[in-house]
Structure 1
């Protein structure tokens, strides 16, 4: 009888542990989905922020830029530079903010960036973006608002929101605004946003497993004591 009871208990333990293992796999999959969803949401938010910035750009100033080094001496360039600089400095997450254009030959160049001339990251007007990612080109060729990356270039590894800037009347593409966030900061933000719910899920799993183990341990202990009493009783009968 005792042997049968112990067999049933061991079978239940195996079932519980198997269930916990399956649950752990499901929770791991859920964690990946949570991280993916958080990344998607953050990309949407970054794109929306960049869209607001693009809408605030003075198009009259932008129209005066030619994409050559002599733009540095234009009042319109100086005013746009101040605007971009102030916007970038308003949020510590923003690494770079700039406006790009495209030559008739299809090359992508920088109209203006948000860095001061003394900054090592400063890009002069007309600088060709040689290592541009294929993902960036969709903003020019398809004229769509997108968030791309992580993309690595001479300035680092970034997540970038790209917003086409169009003439309000003709609809002609005047340029593409880019807003960069460093990838390592991006990943840290994604993890910090997702971590509480992931930790909660695994905590529930551990509590569940702990309760199961405790209950089965208690049952084993009770049955062991019951078995010991039966054995002692049997010995007393033979005495």
Structure 2
């Protein structure tokens, strides 16, 4: 009678424990927790990327605005009135300044000033020497101009473009309006071009520490999960051992005493 009661009690305990149900619950919890960890890592990396993009954009706009101040609006106005007269001291001074600027500041590939005439954007100055294949003459229409190139004329604010492809490549440009100091009217726009591939390569380089942190977090998490699963498996084996031992103690008490 005692044996039957003990066995019935153990069977009832096994049903209550429902090992398969417990295992399913544990797996579901680990699955949900893994999704949460992956989501948080993704959000962290997205936040880091946006932070670096905002910093780079801010620095580019600050740079173009500070460089714009070195040009004389009256020299630009002279060329805008007569783009054929490239012998004027103002033209030579502005062009030399653009050339030195590109040579001095490494990330900048091109620097130029463009204006508006008859509903078109035209180049006034650029940083390329006359014998360069990338040289554009004053008065040449900027055929690849995007709508954002008109933005400084409309708003009077500096802007940073998205990557735009033209005959010279794919660029991210910082644009700053050049204003007439006498009345504040916008007479032209000063632009500097950054290589889009170099721009994003630099952003990815800055992301390396954040990616390393994210990977380390994932490694620690999956190591924790592995250890946790091992502990659960060991507890399950230990529980089975204790049940088996109890059966033996109840069913074969004399043999157990002899063995002891």
So what's the TM-score if we normalise by structure 1?
Answer: 0.87
Q: Which residue of 1 aligns with 2:72?
A: 58
Query: Matched residue of 1:70: which SS?
Result: coil
Report if aligned partners of 2:161, 2:172 keep a CA contact under 8 Å in 1.
yes
- 2:96 is equivalent to residue 82 of structure 1: yes
Of 34, 37, 58, the match for 1:20: 34
Gap change, CA 1:202 and 1:5, over 3 Å in 2: farther
CA distance in 1, matches of 2:88, 2:14: 94
Deviation at 1:83, TM superposition (A): 0.9
The total of aligned residue pairs comes to: 238
Moved more, 58-67 or 206-215: 58-67
Q: Which residue of 1 aligns with 2:236?
A: 223
Query: Matched residue of 2:210: which SS?
Result: helix
Where relative contact order (Cα < 8 A, 6+ residues apart) is larger, the structure is: 1
- 2:61 is equivalent to residue 47 of structure 1: yes
- 2:126 is equivalent to residue 113 of structure 1: yes
Query: Matched residue of 1:37: which SS?
Result: helix
Report if aligned partners of 2:98, 2:126 keep a CA contact under 8 Å in 1.
yes
Runs of 5+ unmatched residues, structure 2: 1-12, 256-260
Deviation at 1:48, TM superposition (A): 0.6
Deviation at 1:68, TM superposition (A): 5.1
Deviation at 1:9, TM superposition (A): 5.1
CA distance in 2, matches of 1:102, 1:69: 12
Q: Which residue of 2 aligns with 1:161?
A: 174
Query: Matched residue of 2:84: which SS?
Result: helix
In our comparison, the structure showing a higher alpha carbon Rg is 2
Query: Matched residue of 1:100: which SS?
Result: strand
- 2:135 is equivalent to residue 141 of structure 1: no
What is the root-mean-square deviation in Å for CA atoms of aligned residues?
A: 2.4
Report if aligned partners of 2:114, 2:121 keep a CA contact under 8 Å in 1.
yes
Q: Which residue of 1 aligns with 2:217?
A: 204
Report if aligned partners of 1:67, 1:110 keep a CA contact under 8 Å in 2.
no
Could you list the per-position Cα deviations for residues 100-153 of structure 1 after superposition, in whole angstroms to 9, with x for gaps in the alignment? 0111x2210011001111221111111100121011111122222111111111
Moved more, 147-156 or 196-205: 196-205
Report if aligned partners of 2:102, 2:110 keep a CA contact under 8 Å in 1.
yes
Report if aligned partners of 2:83, 2:124 keep a CA contact under 8 Å in 1.
no
Query: Matched residue of 2:79: which SS?
Result: coil
